[in-house]
Amino acid sequence: MNVLIVEDERQLSHEIEIFLTKQGYNCDVAFTGKSASEKIYVNSYDFILMDVGLPDNNGFQLLKETKEMGKDAAIIVITARGSLDDKITGLDLGADDYLPKPFSLLELQARMQAILRRKHGLKNNTIQLHTFTMDIQNRTVQADGNTIPLTKKEFDILHYMALHKNRVITRVQLTEHIWGDILEEDYESNYIDVHIKNLRKKLSQYGNSDFIETVRGIGYRLNMF
């Protein structure tokens, strides 16, 4: 999943980037409102962590612009401001959560996972995929008590498809959300197909993997009917 960190405190943004990268996220960083606006306009993000006190822009204005662009990223406002009015303003403008500084990176991760659960209607950190159980927090997939040895990318692909079950996901969408920014000339690459093939092969050793459907000429769909 892709995350944009909008934070002008470089040490803090660096710490968040390192932490989330270790958790499997693809991170972009913007130190100004202008840079953040450009990245949001061009790229697709699952989360935007947005500081209010930016040097060249009011973070609330950036939040408003992001919503006006029609972006569906989950937005967590991160700021030193702790007043009730600021919190209400952020939430009224469409923020999904509000985290005042200083904060624990583990709390940030927990809030991001809580947003994912709400957004996708999950009751906990597990997703049941027919006979397979996916543990989002521990990044494991199990069947009959056996842990399936998926690579990071294989897990990320299955996780993204599980969150968008029963919907056709194009190869470009998978590439953007799993690898981050891609060059146009890479769109015809078959590395998504190779990862899907390996994923199916590993799952089939522990159960039926036919629920991962190939949609010819477009991409893939994870069927959960």
Q: Encode pLDDT of 192-205 as tens digits.
A: 899 999 999 999 99
Tell me, what's the pLDDT at 174? 86
Q: Please report the beta strands in the chain, taking only residues with DSSP state E, as ranges in sequence order.
A: 2-6, 26-30, 47-51, 74-79, 97-100, 126-129, 132-135, 140-143, 146-147, 168-170, 212-215, 219-222
Other CB atoms within 10 A of residue 166 CB: 11
Q: Is the pLDDT of residue 184 over 60?
A: no
What class, spelled out in words, does domain 126-222 have in CATH? mainly alpha
* Residue in 4, 9, 97, 105 with CA at minimum distance from that of residue 53: 9
Task: From 111, 134, 139, select the one nearest 47 (Cα to Cα).
Answer: 111
What pLDDT is recorded for position 203?
A: 96
Domain boundaries along the sequence of the chain: 2-120, 126-222
Lookup: tokens for 26: 């693809």
The secondary structure element, H or E, covering residue 81 is none
Considering the chain, what percentage of its residues have pLDDT values greater than 70?
A: 94
Q: For residue 189, what pLDDT is reported?
A: 58
* Rounded distance between C-alpha atoms, residue 147 and residue 164, angstroms: 23
pLDDT of 168 higher than 60: yes
| Span 44-80, pLDDT tens digits | 888 999 998 888 877 888 889 998 888 888 999 988 7
Average pLDDT, the chain: 87
**pLDDT range class, residue 181, cuts 50, 70, 90:** low
Which CATH code is given to the segment(s) 2-120?
3.40.50.2300
Backbone torsions φ then ψ of 61, nearest 5 degrees: -65, -40
Which of 125 and 76 is assigned the larger pLDDT? 76
129 vs 112: CA distance, rounded Å: 22
The whole-number pLDDT of residue 151 equals 92
HSE value, Cβ hemisphere, 13 Å, CA-based, for 89: 15
Rounded to 10 degrees, the C-alpha dihedral 21/28/137/174 comes to -110
- 2-120 and 126-222 in the same fold: no
Is residue 182 predicted with pLDDT exceeding 70?
Answer: no
Q: How far is CA 22 from CA 15, 25, 203, 221, in A?
A: 11, 7, 25, 28
- Residue range 6-49, pLDDT digits in tens: 999 999 999 999 999 988 888 999 999 999 999 999 888 889 99
This prediction has a pTM of: 0.73
Q: Return d(Cα 18, Cα 14) in angstroms, integer.
A: 6
Q: Helices (DSSP H) in 81-170: which residue ranges?
A: 84-92, 105-120, 152-163
| Mean pLDDT, residues 86-104 | 86
